[in-house]
Structure 1
Amino acid sequence: MISQKPHIIVEDSVQYQLGELKENQIHYDFDKLLIYLDVKGKLLFGKKFKIFEEDREIVFKLCNYFIQEEVNCKKLGIDINKGILLSGPVGCGKTSLMKLLPSIVPHHRIYQITPTRNVAFAFNHTGYKTIEHFGNQKFYCFDDLGVEPTGRFFGKDCNVMGEILLSRYDLFLKHKIKTHATTNLNAKELEDRYGNRVRSRMRQLFNLVAFEKSSEDKRI
């Protein structure tokens, strides 16, 4: 059941108001979103979690996308109808953010975060049924896109995630089903991994949101 006040979230008996409800529309406050994300992040990932000052711009972009703030998204060059491809160096916090940010919009449809290597391993066991499975109308966020092993079933190799992305592109065109992903690779590396055809589809499937190359490994 959808809460009648999705802008007010309770964690450990503490109430967090993320904005104001006016004329059946939520007007979010970014500073309040940051306060809640810090609290929720510590609950999900431990007391050492924090949102680093250098990541505020990335978090601002992603918050605007998740709350579907059309005016700001347009200024930021983000299409609210596409998915998110969040790229950046190893350990910069991509996966944590994609796990965390849906918590600010509990009334929105949730996606399942799935490591791409698990998808490749599943293909090795069940073959092309895996591609059919992930080509369904569920929402997914594919984690660590591009570093998964090549699939192999009955002696035949398959670029599993490449095929799935093509299927997800068709779903996007026909049913507006979004796909999200995280990756450590840059555009050239993704094209080398999946080919020009898939890379072309990815441009239409995703908004690219990128951490700086100099972003530190926060897991150290």
Structure 2
Amino acid sequence: MVNPCKIVEEHKTYDIGTFDGKEVMYDFEKILIYLDVKGKMCFGNGFKIYEEDHPIILKLCHYFIKDKENCEKNEIDPNKGILLSGPVGCGKTSLMILLKNIVPLQKPYILIPSRNIVFGFNHIGYKTIEDYGCRQFFCFDDLGVEPIGRHYGKDCNVMGEILLSRHELFINHHIKTHGTTNLNAEELEDLYGNRVRSRMRELFNLVAFDQDTSDKRK
């Protein structure tokens, strides 16, 4: 039987909890140790888990391990995706890259910068939007700072259209979508319009860093 609490990285095993064959008991301190190791593997030895970020990491861990009791306390719906917001450099992208690794038996998502999707649209057109209307799980990074798409002289709010498609997938087939953004709800609505914003409320749980969170890139 596969033990979901044991994760092997470079021939070393990390225990992030205990498993009795039926129930998993995760250990947040052990998860933090693993995330620090995995972060250094992914981003270099300068990577660090900051103590000030522990509360938001804990909230996200509750979501990913499907801890229903704590999700309910935090008003998080485990059936919806995550929209992780916060100021530039606070670590949103890094966390979304790392956290899927603590649940290796769950279907993984692909993280892709929103601006790259728009560049693809500019090159090949509306097939790009169709390509993201599939059953793959995605995390759209930096939602809201991508440029407006343009193909053969016609402008298109590419990510807005993709979010509408992803909402249909969620409603009809329970396909999750995640995202990160530097923008607040009002700014997203100004960018994508009220129709898309209302769909985003159904599509995502909003989890936000404090606006005073430090820029880790400095």
For 2:17, the equivalent position in structure 1 comes to: 19
1:10 maps to amino acid: V
Q: Is the 8 A contact 2:142 2:181 kept in 1?
A: yes
Task: Give the count of matched residue pairs.
Answer: 218
> Which of the numbers 151, 158, 163 marks the counterpart of 1:153?
151
Structure 2: gaps (5+ residues): none
Give the C-alpha shift of residue 203 in structure 1.
0.4
For 2:173, the equivalent position in structure 1 comes to: 175
For 1:218, the equivalent position in structure 2 comes to: 216
Displaced runs of 4 or more, over 6 A: none
TM-score (norm 1): 0.97
For 2:111, the equivalent position in structure 1 comes to: 113
TM-score (norm 2): 0.98
- Rounded Cα–Cα distance in structure 1 between residues aligned with 2:179 and 2:13: 31
- Rounded Cα–Cα distance in structure 1 between residues aligned with 2:21 and 2:33: 25
1:129 maps to amino acid: K
Q: Considering only aligned residues, what root-mean-square deviation do their CA atoms show, in Å? A: 1.0
For 1:7, the equivalent position in structure 2 comes to: 5
For 1:79, the equivalent position in structure 2 comes to: 77
Aligned residues with identical type, % of pairs:
64
SS in 2 for 1:144: strand
Q: Is the 8 A contact 2:109 2:139 kept in 1?
A: yes
**Which aligned pairs between 1:30-179 and structure 2 lie closer than 5 A?**
30-179=28-177
The more displaced of 21-30 and 162-171 is 21-30
SS in 1 for 2:82: strand
Q: For each residue in 1:120-158, what CA deviation from the matched residue of structure 2 results, as whole angstroms up to 9, or x when unmatched? A: 011111111111001111100000000001001111100
Give the C-alpha shift of residue 23 in structure 1.
4.3
2:96 maps to amino acid: M
- Rounded Cα–Cα distance in structure 2 between residues aligned with 1:20 and 1:189: 43
1:60 maps to amino acid: L
Give the C-alpha shift of residue 164 in structure 1.
0.3
Give the C-alpha shift of residue 86 in structure 1.
0.3
- Rounded Cα–Cα distance in structure 1 between residues aligned with 2:22 and 2:68: 16
- 2:189 is the alignment partner of 1:205: no
